[in-house]
Structure 1
Amino acid sequence: MTSPESIDSDDFRQRLAEALPSANIPTLLLLLHQFTGEERWLQAPYIVDRSRWDDNDSGGLPDAIQDEVRAAALDTITAWRAGKPIAKPDLTADELIRMMSFSESSKIPQEYAGLMMHRLKRYSGAAPEPVALKKGFHALIIGAGMSGVVAAFRLRQLGIPFTIIEKQDRAGGVWHSHHYPGCGVDTPGHLYSYTFASGDWSMYFPLQEEVEGYFNRVARQTGVEELVRFGTECVSTRYDEESHTWHSRLRLPDGSEEVLVTNVVISAVGAFTTPKFPPIPGLQEFDGPMVHTSKWDPTIDLHDKRVAVIGNGASAMQLVPAIADTVKSLTVFQRSKQWAAPFPKFRKKVPESVRLLFREVPHYEWLYRLRLSWIFDSQVHETLQKDPEWPHPERSINATNDGHREVFTRYIKEQLGDRLDLLEKVTPTFPPFGKRMLLDNGWYKSLLKPQVELIDGPVNKIEGKTVYGPDGEKRDVDVLVVATGYDVSRFLSPVEVIGRQGVTVREAWDDDDSQAYLGTVVPNFPNFFMLYGPNTALGHGGSFIFTVECQVDFVLSILRQMAEFSLVEVECRQDVYDTYNQHIQAMHQKMIWSHPGMSTYFRNARGRIVTNSPWRLVDYWKLTRQADLADFYTVPKAPNSQHRTESVPTEFEYTADPEPYHFQPGSTSA
């Protein structure tokens, strides 16, 4: 979405030459093949090494070969810039799979071709066909964070009238509200981007301020920002069965309220909204500054202070290295251990010259992002399946997972050196990826600092400014930081959602037993859609943004069919909902997150996995491309009509195929 700079030919060639030494060699090889049409760029001596953990900038090629690739790229891109046509401007699905398989030195299954072509089409800015809904149709989008912005953008593209509200004073969602020291993404920025909007990231893994700026810039450039009613909160929304509309009670910036009536409600409130505080006696009476990482107070002075951090999850691992050299002492209380993988591009800047390459040569960016989507979205999933014949289920779930354990353990030993006391404290006993996989942004090195102490156990109680550990040890502190995460199992908690017969979604879910069909729709809540719903999080890695885009496509498919068939109500069938959730839980039982060796926020109080998706991204993309009305009860537009139509419901069955389980909604085939 950035505009090309005005650069003359000589200056462009010079700046391109400055960029290429830092460019990604496998991506340049793909670009050379596409631009020249020459097969040699996908053959020896340019065969790249396989890389599992990063984007493999060098491709593992000798320096002389890398220099040859860069020199060819310089001439080829300069010629294209001067007007030479691209030899293969429209890649076929087969060719794209062949190219990507070459760049990864790994056979990418043919079924990914459609997904990659879909992404490539989105990257190039293709717009969908507009939707003609009945006159007066209106939708409400709750939230202008990452999910709300894409929903508003897509609805606007299709010409669907909507109102979008946001309780904060600007867009960005959690990236606006969360700003603790060290806060950032653990997904590459070029992947943590909408398919329709480039990021122009200054760092390969950007920090909070830049991520927030990205979402606000996209909202502004797409025209969404000017439509958002900021400072407006949805307190409750109630479905009226007679009129087939939702009545949403909004709290306005001045404290007054209004009721907005819409045909559809799209919740984009997210999951990281309600902080979780541990039930520690005396916590709320701490006699000093106390702050949760989700509600960081920048006025709190940490300089030369005795600080205690409760928790050692994702936010703590970012916070501790960021403040360790500021405080007088830092005590970390860990309830459970965590795996953290090497993070070679931590705080690594994208050179200005390479940023120009991304901006000025969109084909390079598209191919680079496609490679990232395979490396980070798709490779890990198969390694998270339990091998029932594996002889060491207490430490790992299969041979590959055991190999991961060896790699990560060796890395921890390298980081800690002779601190064997710390090695025992930080090395988990459960399998890697069993809990959220973290990236080491200096965590292990921070633990070696003389002013940093790790206590292996939870806080027992707090009295005044004294924090008591699990064995009665006590630490007097000046500032208390609570880094214990969020109440993620209670989806939709920021809004009271009331469906048929006055039943709230909390009652429908028995409080925290959150479920949804495709993470998006729930029976007895017609015309209500949620983004980032239950069982959509990517525990196997990758960018969640694309998952949300898939959900939005699914919602738009339903709205398009509401227009086509003159429907006023669409509601998920109970049997479809039940069968789907039984199916994905059966899938989870074969995956690592049901391993009994750890506690995790992935599971609710009943032990059911409510956050993570069991699907590969390609599976979820296929399932959400087109909604099947056979999975829904529908009510057509007709005077005084309340008749609900139905068709053959979805059936789900396991296949003997070695690939992960597949099914097609609305059919009887798996």
Structure 2
Amino acid sequence: MTDILSPRPQVLDPAELESALRLANIPVLLAVTFQLTGDRIWLSDRYRPTRSAGMDENLTGGLSEKTRDEVRRGALAAVKAWNSGAPPAVPRPEGELLLELLAFVNGEDVPAEYEPMMAELLGHRPVTSPVPPPRPDRRTKVLVIGAGVAGLLSSLRLREAGVDHMVVEKNERVGGGWWENTYPGCGVDTPSHLYSFSFEPHPWSTFFGKRDEVQAYLEAFADRHDLRRGIVFGTEVTDLEYTAADGTWTATLRAADGTETTTRADAVISAVGVLNRPKVPDLPGRDGFRGEAFHSARWPAGIDLAGRRVAVVGSGASAMQIVPAVAGTPASLTVFQRSPQWIAHNADYFRPVDPGVHRLMEHVPYYRRWYRAKLNWIFNDRVHPSLEIDPDWDTDGRSVNAVNDGHRRFYTRYVERQLRDRPDLLAKCLPDYPPFGKRMLLDNGWYAALCREDVRLVTEGVRAFTPTGLVDTAGEHHEADVVVLATGFESTRYLHPMRVRGRSGRLLGEVWGEHDARAYLGMTVPDFPNLFLLSGPNTGLGHGGSFFTIVEWQVRYVVEALGLLDANGLRTMECRADVCASYNEAVDAAHAKLVWVHPKMTNWYRNAAGRVVAASPWRIVDYFTMTRHVDPADFVWTNAG
């Protein structure tokens, strides 16, 4: 990553640099030029960018072509001077100056509470733990369960801290959900430059990464850091049991051939994720279906849909990627929609990343960090105020506040434009619940696919399989040769189906109930010492943001916790029951004021009782602040026994 702390990269040829600057994000380039020159002319009203509309990256900043050329020329001169050895005038803007820059680049005020987080994201003020990492001679052994994004990062950070650890992965490869989900169209709904480790950039080929490239990124990450040698593949943890006498965990491991062994660890990090256990509806008649039926996360390799009658059950994120990707290949495509989705247009969804942009990232100082910081602002907390229920607002349940109603009108116009020639579809596709009541999806050709003559949208539920298709809840039969169950995951059954027994002998599933998981900061649970959950309850990002960002903070928190054990010569730490209870009371109180509890819709964040279990109620900046350091007062510390 190019910045003042990195070695100077190979200097671009001036003509090549000038060409690359033609592709630059203008607001980002203004921040870069100011840092290099210190000249406040670049922060004047003449160059002030407009606020980006929606989730657009605001490439031009709303400036005229003439003004953009002035910015490019100024940046060219500044980068040339830097290449010649001139030091940057403002290497690490912080405090009021950083807030001024953030507001300028984004075209809107950025509250002061964001300064610490953004200073860290920009590399201006790296967070250092007040606690030394665990000592290698302590010989603490940690078991990490899962080798997806969270498990790989845990392994890297534990190794850097000198902590002995083993990673157990149920699959044959790293990647977790990205290894398992191979369905057509699979990809991310977060910009690629956010959906990656902050310290491990990648020259993404598209603005929104597709499954194969994300999986390749994780494979390369594991290889680059030599992580595979510490991973036991093809092995699942079925049971965890805590022994109070010596403060250790015993894990039962089951290999692919059914062989079971045990291993002991001083601490356990669960990195099993949330969206990895398919939720398969128990529909009568499936055994008698003569065609092929499978969950979207278990897409059969080599299946040919050409000329066949295909039914997709579901219209959520997976279905929305599958349907446009396969439309036109089957003889017919029937989509069963339980409820319509709010869908946002994004012109960048299929946009390839020009090689010149990669050169900007690699050769222009500060550019990558500012670009990522700008995306963080657009895709993170910016939308959060529109989720907050205004008790005095009333639009027949169609929105929750004035800003949210503005979003409703904006997205309604988009749906109406897409379906202007299909009033029958418009009636089926326009939600009657507030925007962001479910995670906002991006239009990747969904409406265009629904408008095809060989595609049919059914708004009835599925009642049963028949030998030749599906019967809907209205009694109509739909012929099908292939049924894709895009029915989501067991998002409220954390650690399922693992059996975890704590200090008192109770199973974690008994403590929580089957669908009502609760943890302090989503990471620790009373009665379960030295057990850390990554992507635990109430840490999912419903309003936006990157999973990678949250995981980096959680792993930092866990490694600091292990360091505290070592620094104090202790063996176990256990979250205080009152701390956990108070935290979850605050979680529930915050959720009660947010759109996800709105009575007009269901979503995968909530359990059957209506409690939000999966999504976080907090803004990204709130969670950053909460997890920045471990507070020893939140835990009971012992030498075990």
Which TM-score tier does this pair reach, normalised by the shorter chain? over 0.9
Q: Distance in 2 between matches of 1:603 and 1:519?
A: 15
Show the counterpart of 1:522.
Answer: 525
Is structure 2 residue 367 aligned with structure 1 residue 364? yes
Following superposition, the deviation at residue 7 of structure 1 comes to: 8.3
Show the counterpart of 1:480.
Answer: 483
Q: Residue deviations 1:338-372, cap 9 Å, x none?
A: 11111211111000111121122351000110111
Pairs within 5 Å for 1:170-209: 170-209=173-212
- Residues 1:357 and 1:332: Cα distance change in structure 2 (over 3 Å): same
Show the counterpart of 1:55.
Answer: 57
Following superposition, the deviation at residue 197 of structure 1 comes to: 1.1
Show the counterpart of 2:33.
Answer: 32
Following superposition, the deviation at residue 124 of structure 1 comes to: 8.1
Q: For structure 1, which segment, 196-205 or 133-142, has the greater mean C-alpha deviation from structure 2 after superposition? A: 133-142
Following superposition, the deviation at residue 166 of structure 1 comes to: 1.4
Following superposition, the deviation at residue 8 of structure 1 comes to: 6.4
Kept in 2, the 8 Å contact 1:404–1:432? The answer is yes
- Residues 1:304 and 1:372: Cα distance change in structure 2 (over 3 Å): same
Q: Residue deviations 1:54-74, cap 9 Å, x none?
A: 211110100111111122222
State which of 627, 630, 633 in structure 2 corresponds to 1:627. 630
Show the counterpart of 2:109.
Answer: 107
Amino acid in structure 1 at the alignment position of 2:225: T
Show the counterpart of 2:20.
Answer: 19
Kept in 2, the 8 Å contact 1:125–1:196? The answer is no
Following superposition, the deviation at residue 122 of structure 1 comes to: 8.7
Kept in 2, the 8 Å contact 1:554–1:625? The answer is yes
Amino acid in structure 1 at the alignment position of 2:187: G
Amino acid in structure 2 at the alignment position of 1:543: S
Show the counterpart of 1:158.
Answer: 161
Higher relative contact order (CA 8 A, sep 6+): 2
Q: Residue deviations 1:7-66, cap 9 Å, x none?
A: 865x53232222222211110010000011110111121011101322111101001111
Show the counterpart of 1:652.
Answer: none
State which of 374, 377, 400 in structure 2 corresponds to 1:374. 377
Q: Residue deviations 1:536-573, cap 9 Å, x none?
A: 01111111211111211221221111111111111111
Root-mean-square deviation (Å):
2.1
Q: For structure 1, which segment, 353-362 or 385-394, has the greater mean C-alpha deviation from structure 2 after superposition? A: 353-362
Amino acid in structure 2 at the alignment position of 1:40: I
Q: Residue deviations 1:201-222, cap 9 Å, x none?
A: 1111010011111122222222
For the residue of structure 2 that corresponds to 1:111, the secondary structure is helix
Kept in 1, the 8 Å contact 2:165–2:230? The answer is no
State which of 562, 565, 568 in structure 2 corresponds to 1:562. 565
Kept in 2, the 8 Å contact 1:237–1:247? The answer is yes
Kept in 1, the 8 Å contact 2:345–2:442? The answer is yes
Show the counterpart of 2:69.
Answer: 67
Kept in 2, the 8 Å contact 1:216–1:225? The answer is no
Show the counterpart of 1:588.
Answer: 591
Unmatched 5+ stretches in structure 1: 643-670
Q: For structure 1, which segment, 547-556 or 198-207, has the greater mean C-alpha deviation from structure 2 after superposition? A: 547-556
Show the counterpart of 1:648.
Answer: none
Show the counterpart of 1:661.
Answer: none
Unmatched 5+ stretches in structure 2: none
Following superposition, the deviation at residue 595 of structure 1 comes to: 0.6
Following superposition, the deviation at residue 170 of structure 1 comes to: 1.8
Pairs within 5 Å for 1:640-655: 642=641
Following superposition, the deviation at residue 439 of structure 1 comes to: 0.8
Q: Tell me the percent identity.
A: 43
Q: For structure 1, which segment, 311-320 or 249-258, has the greater mean C-alpha deviation from structure 2 after superposition? A: 249-258
Kept in 2, the 8 Å contact 1:124–1:196? The answer is no
Show the counterpart of 1:223.
Answer: 226
Amino acid in structure 1 at the alignment position of 2:121: R
Following superposition, the deviation at residue 254 of structure 1 comes to: 5.7
For the residue of structure 2 that corresponds to 1:22, the secondary structure is coil
Q: Distance in 1 between matches of 2:548 and 2:186?
A: 18
Kept in 1, the 8 Å contact 2:241–2:251? The answer is yes
Following superposition, the deviation at residue 323 of structure 1 comes to: 0.1
Show the counterpart of 1:323.
Answer: 326
Following superposition, the deviation at residue 471 of structure 1 comes to: 2.0
Q: Distance in 2 between matches of 1:217 and 1:6?
A: 24
- Residues 1:277 and 1:345: Cα distance change in structure 2 (over 3 Å): same
Is structure 2 residue 524 aligned with structure 1 residue 509? no
Q: Distance in 2 between matches of 1:615 and 1:70?
A: 38
State which of 602, 609, 612 in structure 2 corresponds to 1:609. 612
- Residues 1:93 and 1:494: Cα distance change in structure 2 (over 3 Å): farther
Q: Distance in 2 between matches of 1:403 and 1:201?
A: 33
Kept in 1, the 8 Å contact 2:469–2:477? The answer is yes
Q: Residue deviations 1:430-463, cap 9 Å, x none?
A: 0000112111111011111111110112112221
Q: Distance in 1 between matches of 2:162 and 2:124?
A: 18
- Residues 1:19 and 1:408: Cα distance change in structure 2 (over 3 Å): same
Kept in 2, the 8 Å contact 1:123–1:195? The answer is no
Is structure 2 residue 337 aligned with structure 1 residue 352? no
State which of 248, 271, 274 in structure 2 corresponds to 1:271. 274
Alignment: residue pair count: 637
For the residue of structure 2 that corresponds to 1:412, the secondary structure is helix
Q: Residue deviations 1:91-139, cap 9 Å, x none?
A: 2233222111101111101111101112223998989954326632111
Q: Residue deviations 1:501-539, cap 9 Å, x none?
A: 332111111111111110001111110001000000111
Q: Residue deviations 1:214-261, cap 9 Å, x none?
A: 122222222323322222221211111111000111224664332111
Q: Distance in 1 between matches of 2:474 and 2:145?
A: 46
Following superposition, the deviation at residue 629 of structure 1 comes to: 2.0
Q: Residue deviations 1:395-414, cap 9 Å, x none?
A: 10000000100000100011
Q: Distance in 1 between matches of 2:454 and 2:433?
A: 29
Q: For structure 1, which segment, 91-100 or 367-376, has the greater mean C-alpha deviation from structure 2 after superposition? A: 91-100
Show the counterpart of 2:87.
Answer: 85
- Residues 1:61 and 1:231: Cα distance change in structure 2 (over 3 Å): same
State which of 403, 422, 427 in structure 1 corresponds to 2:425. 422
Following superposition, the deviation at residue 290 of structure 1 comes to: 1.2
Amino acid in structure 1 at the alignment position of 2:154: A
Q: Distance in 2 between matches of 1:201 and 1:431?
A: 34
Following superposition, the deviation at residue 298 of structure 1 comes to: 2.2
The TM-score with structure 1 as length reference comes to: 0.92
Is structure 2 residue 621 aligned with structure 1 residue 618? yes
- Residues 1:123 and 1:316: Cα distance change in structure 2 (over 3 Å): farther
Kept in 2, the 8 Å contact 1:384–1:397? The answer is yes
Q: Distance in 2 between matches of 1:613 and 1:427?
A: 26
Following superposition, the deviation at residue 2 of structure 1 comes to: 9.9
Is structure 2 residue 235 aligned with structure 1 residue 232? yes
Show the counterpart of 2:399.
Answer: 396
For the residue of structure 2 that corresponds to 1:95, the secondary structure is helix
Show the counterpart of 2:78.
Answer: 76
Q: Distance in 2 between matches of 1:45 and 1:284?
A: 69
- Residues 1:331 and 1:362: Cα distance change in structure 2 (over 3 Å): farther
Q: Distance in 2 between matches of 1:429 and 1:105?
A: 32
Kept in 1, the 8 Å contact 2:2–2:361? The answer is no
Amino acid in structure 1 at the alignment position of 2:28: T
Show the counterpart of 2:118.
Answer: 116
Following superposition, the deviation at residue 295 of structure 1 comes to: 0.8
Show the counterpart of 2:458.
Answer: 455
Q: Distance in 2 between matches of 1:536 and 1:90?
A: 31
Kept in 1, the 8 Å contact 2:597–2:612? The answer is yes
Is structure 2 residue 317 aligned with structure 1 residue 314? yes
Q: Distance in 1 between matches of 2:64 and 2:463?
A: 56
Is structure 2 residue 138 aligned with structure 1 residue 135? yes
State which of 398, 412, 415 in structure 2 corresponds to 1:412. 415
Following superposition, the deviation at residue 581 of structure 1 comes to: 0.8
The TM-score with structure 2 as length reference comes to: 0.96
Q: Distance in 1 between matches of 2:287 and 2:624?
A: 44
Amino acid in structure 2 at the alignment position of 1:76: A
